Copies of this chain bind each other. A is one copy, B any other.
């Protein structure tokens, strides 16, 4: 492995100058710079990341932390899409990604390892729960971080979010416009911010239409297909005429439960989801859902974090992407639009 020292010798300059060229320091003579660049290219020099890090420089490594308990990791491609966005943005900016899928002892070792690992320039924390020891620890350190999904206790941190409240509001309003009145909801874990947001959108759509919120029609689940199945089974006896599932995976589970119960969608009951995962166009029937730019969220999180890392004086950046209603066939129209039952 060639070192700075060797480049310096070959180019007839000092180690310092080579270092400056490598780090794009503007105050290097153009001719000298070119000569050095040529040598670097010719012997395929790559600076040693550990040495750069030790010497106080940056590592160009970003951490991506995905908490556990996110059962959905197996039933929908949300995280693959997110990871892909993060990974490609990192590649584009010549950064690397270190991945942490949290294990049970989340609090203990992992937190410490992540924070003390001087190898990370910054951290992206995905899918935050209300109680998050890592987030708390992160906030106390000087390590730059960006949240995927804002957190109510850290609203002044940088985050990239999606307008979950409005997305839910729009899709539930759509159901109401179609004439549905007993609209159930299957949510994710109550302790997740995204769950709260989507539930809030659901409730405000009902209220906006003068419908009461019926807590018997709201079932807490976990964003998984199985969770959707079980939740739908619990809802069937309560005779909703439509179901707002807080994710496509939940909606897919609900569809399966309805199929098993010999109920037709959308004839007997409508089902809508959230996320617009690739499979949502392929369920039977295809799912009406809310599209969010997951991949883009991942890459923008990276770009934001890099900005924070490279320009420590950058103020926090907070971004909320709009969502988009995607109408397919899982929500028909009610034959005879009725008037709202409740004031």
Contacts and interface: CB of A to CB of B under 8 A. Distances in A.
B87 A80 contact: no
Contact of A77 (B59, B75, B92): B75
Contacts of A94: 109, 113
A69 interface: no
Interface of A: 1, 44, 46, 48-51, 53-54, 59, 61, 64, 73-75, 77, 79-81, 83-84, 87-88, 91-92, 94, 96-101, 103, 109-110, 112-113, 116-119, 225, 229, 252-253, 256, 259, 278-279, 282, 284
A118 B1 contact: yes
Nearest to A76: B77
B81 A118 contact: no
Contacts of A252: 282
Contacts of A279: 75, 225
Given A75-B278, A87-B101, 10 more contacts: A46-B116, A74-B77, A80-B80, A87-B99, A94-B109, A96-B119, A119-B119, A225-B279, A259-B284, A284-B284
A317 B87 CA distance: 30
Contacts of A80: 73-74, 77, 79-80
A253 B100 CA distance: 32
A112 B49 CA distance: 13
Given A50-B50, A100-B87, A112 B44 contact: yes
9 contacts: A1-B118, A50-B50, A50-B51, A61-B119, A79-B80, A96-B100, A229-B282, A256-B284, A284-B284
A88 to B, nearest CB: 6
Contacts of A54: 48, 50-51, 54
Contacts of A229: 282
In this complex, the member of A1, A77, A92, A110 whose beta carbon has the largest number of chain B beta carbons within 10 angstroms is: A77
Given A77-B75, A87-B100, A101-B83, A225 B278 contact: yes
A224 to B, nearest CB: 9
A74 B278 contact: yes
A99 B100 CA distance: 10
Contacts of A87: 99-101
